[in-house]
Amino acid sequence: MNNNIKIQVLGSGCPTCKKLFELTEQAVQEVGLEIKVEYITDIQKMIEMGVMQSPALAINGKPVMTGAIGDKDDIKKLILNECENEGGESAGCCGGGCGCGGNCQ
């Protein structure tokens, strides 16, 4: 299981931003990662990361979703895609925890 992934939700603290944070925490749990999702409300940090719209989801320091919250399945796909891009296999990331049987799509 790849627990070296860093996931951050960036936002002002508004209800939409909080919803993205909650969905992201659920997605992380469902794919079997044992990591803490970071919630960033510091505007300066958001600007440094190139985020001009909130809420935003960043994985390993890269914004992957901005200005929308999507749904939990969208978030899971982004996380699993990043695990694959980091040289791991999907099953190595989720450990089969998402119900994929090692065949995440």
pLDDT for position 98: 52
CATH of the domain at 14: 3.40.30.10
pLDDT for the residue 2: 57
Structural domain count, the chain: 1
Residue 100 lies in a domain: no
Q: Does residue 44 sit within a domain?
A: yes
CA 98 – CA 9 distance, rounded (Å): 21
**What DSSP string runs through 15-73?**
HHHHHHHHHHHHHHHHTT---PPEEE--HHHHHHTT--SSSEEEETTEEEEES----HH
The predicted structure's pLDDT at residue 105: 43
Structural domain range at position 21: 7-75+82-94
Low-confidence ranges of the chain (pLDDT < 50): 1, 88-92, 101, 103-105
Prediction pTM value: 0.79
Please give the order of strands across the beta sheet that includes 38-40: 38-40, 7-10, 56-59, 62-66
